[in-house]
Amino acid sequence: MPIQFGSHALNQEHLENLRYYKYAAVDKSLISNYILRHYWNAMVHLFPRWMAPNLITLLGLGFMMINVLFIIIYVPDLGTEAPSWLYFSFAAGLWLYSTFDNVDGKQARRTGTSSPLGELFDHGCDALNCTCVALLQAAALGLGHSFSTVALVLVTIVGFYLSTAEEYFTGVLYLGIVNGPTEGILVSCLAFIWSGVYGASSWHVPLSAVSRLSWISSHLPNGTCFADIFVWGMILFFLITHCPFCFASIYTVCQEKSLKLSHVLLTILYPITLYSLAIYLWVSSPYSHLFENQDIILFSLTIGILFGMMASDIIVAHLTRNEFPPFKVSLGLLWTMALLVNLPFLRTHIITATSEHILLWILFLSLVVLYLVWATRIIQAFCKYLGINCLTIRHTNQTIPRSTEEHVESDALLDQQEQGQQASTSTNGNNKSYSTFE
């Protein structure tokens, strides 16, 4: 029976395309290639060989989810000063997530268990983590339930969406010299540590109050503080170091494959534009009570799960060479709520502060159940076709290296595999891309 989510069906014919799977990624970050790679190669040996790569991925996401729970418990308003240990926990959680997220692929190669399911599981968790990272940033900067918090959530989500759509059309996950998964995470970790040392209130000191920065403040809106600079910096980081390269890669593949650029851009941009517009209409509606109810955390988690569905659907389409998803169900749910809170005649009798809060909870819980059911069915279908388990490694007679020399050889092999993979990705056009629109 085909697995259906929205208008995107997954049947046996699509599963057969998994046999053509070949992971391709390029990471141009100097920090990743010259510093962190050696750290990740060392860290992978701390994990036993019986530990499945997907389990490592899931544990990494768990660190972030625990910290989101800490936010709900200790700083639900996202604005008050929290205990110092909480901000250090944010830094540790994000660093561990990043470590586990990079080690899982090395563990897969180390144990010979690389598969399309690994990419789906990894990127699916990354999609869900977008909201977690933004909420941690908002709490560490003391942004409160504000438009700045929503902006951080949205810019993180849109950035990941463009990378996922880019990979769908090019067949390559491309990370530039400066990218979110490396430099962005390092900046966030440093910001969390700063908050742990000096407190979240330190981000709200106006630039004009710092004598050495007074010349800068004269060119910025009155009252601009360091928290504003951080939020604007994240947006500029997205616009300057991310967007141009995504669209440049898409333009290149359209030229190589003789695809109609306008059609490809429309396919990519209309879903995320409608998604972003619905969010804006909801939070900016004069009849919405999101800020009044202090529901921005719940709202962010809701749109985050909705985005997790959308991103995972693109990844499944990429792996199975299916059509780019239309997201009718996801966008339909979001736009229904956006329209409800913008209809004046519903304000008095239906969309009150209490009813909006209840509707948001119903939407959140419904999406959690829908996502878990759909994800479980997809994972089961992949596992059955590939003959693998999701969170465990099927028993093999593979010998486990124990000596230091063998560990060094294993590190060298991992580096050779990754460097060879990147080289083939950048030189062999046939291996780096495909398109369902050919």
Q: Which residues are catalytic?
A: 123
Residues 148, 154: Cα–Cα separation, whole Å = 10
Q: How many alpha carbons lie under 13 Å from residue 378 in its C-beta half-sphere?
A: 29
Please return the burial class of 390, using the count of CB atoms within 10 Å of its CB with bins 0-12, 13-18 and 19+: middle
78: left (phi over 0), alpha (psi -120 to 50) or beta: left
* CB atoms closer than 10 angstroms to residue 161: 23
Nearest to 115 by CA among 321, 382, 398: 382
Listing DSSP states for 257-273 in one string gives HT--HHHHHHHHHHHHH
- What are the residue ranges of helices labelled H in 45-170? 53-74, 84-111, 116-141, 147-170
User: Do the beta carbons of residue 302 and residue 135 sit within 8 Å?
Assistant: no
Residues 98, 39: Cα–Cα separation, whole Å = 12
Residues 140, 96: Cα–Cα separation, whole Å = 18
**Which residues have a Cβ under 8 Å from the Cβ of 419 and sit 6 or more positions away?**
none
Residues 127, 121: Cα–Cα separation, whole Å = 10
